[in-house]
Structures are given as C-alpha cells and as structure tokens.
Amino acid sequence: MNLFLISFAALFSVINPLGTLPIFIGLTKDKGKKEITSIAIWAVFNTFIILVVSFFLGTYLLQFFGISLNSLRISGGIIIASSGFALLTGSFTKHKGMKKREKEDAYTRSEISLTPLAIPMLAGPGSISLLITYNQEHSLIFDKIILVSAILAVCLITFLLLISSRIIIKALGASGINALSGIIGFIVISIGVEFILNTLLKIINGFI
C-alpha cells in the first residue's frame, strides 16, 4: 500500500492532469458530449499504453544507449523539477511544448487524443523517466504489479477529470486552477530535488 500511494502521488503530480484541462476544453469546445467522452477515453488509453511500455522497456533503452541509472535519476530530477517550476510560473503548456505554433496546429487536427493530449501533455519525459527509475528500483514482480496499478489508477482519475473538465473549470475558475497547479508545482519540484539529492548521496557514499 505504501508503494502504491507514493508512486500514485508522484505520478499524478508529475503528469498533472489538472494543467491539461484548459487545453482539453479548448480543443473540444466544438465537440458533442459523446465525442468528448470518446476523445478522453482514447487520450487516457494512449497515455496508459505509453507509460506502461516506458515502464517495462525503458530499461532496455538505457542499456542500448549506455545510460546509467544515476544519470537517468539526475536528468529525470532536473526535468521533473523544471516541470514543477513551469507550474509555479504558469508556463505549464509552454513547458510541454505547446507554444503558439503547436497550439495552432493542435486546433486544426482532427485527431487529438494521441497528440497533443497523450503526448506531450500527459505522458511527457518527466513521467517516463520517473517510471523507468521505479522499474530499476523495484525488481520484484509484486512491486511491478503495484506500480502498474498506480499507473492505471492515475489514468482513471485523469479520465474522470477530462470528462468533468467543464464542470471543474466552471467551479474553480482560472484562478482556482492556477492555485492548485501552484501547489502541485511545489510538490513536483520537491520530487525532482529528492531524485537529485538521493542520487548524489548514493554517488558520494559509493566513493566513501
């Protein structure tokens, strides 16, 4: 239960589906209820597949490119911390690669569930590096099942948030979403810093 709660909280914070809601509403403003639900289902399904594949196959990519776990943890920590900083400063969509040109392209797409919703808004480099690290640190089959369950739980919560996006935005407003994003941003920065500090301590202890 401990592993599930920790991994769920970390993954939910790094993915931050709340930050995706304004983009989702903008991309689906001319869609009907059934179409919005269908887009949300496929966006979450794509996200789940990408995250699970990254979780299980990411280790082999590290081996192929000769990247050590410590290097991944430090670089992943930097990416995660920068995501948190983007949430604090209100530049989350830009940090995810959704600049003016990308937004214009997204609004003209007929299919948005894979990109930009699944990639890069939900399944980005921060969540992928986090999951690869978890895979390296937890070798037991039971632990891996728990971690996949945490991924599934985050995806289900994300789906509920997406289909309720208009209600949530109406209830909280832009200021409420920004306030929540700021709180989540602080947590995400802490997760990134923790990654980096723990790795540096392991390296120092190895030398000692």
Q: What is the helix (H) or strand (E) element at residue 93, kind and residue range?
A: helix 92-95
CB-CB contact of 135 with 125 (8 Å): no
Q: Which two tokens stand for residue 203?
A: 């390296």
pLDDT at 72: 85
Q: Report percent pLDDT > 90 for the chain.
A: 35
Distance (Å, whole) CA 96 – CA 48: 18
State the average pLDDT over residues 127-148: 92
Asked if 51 and 128 count as a contact pair (C-beta separation under 8 A), the reply is yes
- CB neighbours (10 Å) of residue 32? 9
Residue 149: band (very low, low, confident or very high) from pLDDT cuts 50, 70, 90: very high
DSSP states of 155-173: HHHHHHHHHTHHHHHHHHH
Q: Which of 102-106, 128-132, 133-137, 144-148 has the lowest mean pLDDT?
A: 102-106
What is the pTM for the complete model shown? 0.84
Task: Name the token pair of 38.
Answer: 């269908």
| 79: pLDDT strictly greater than 60 | yes
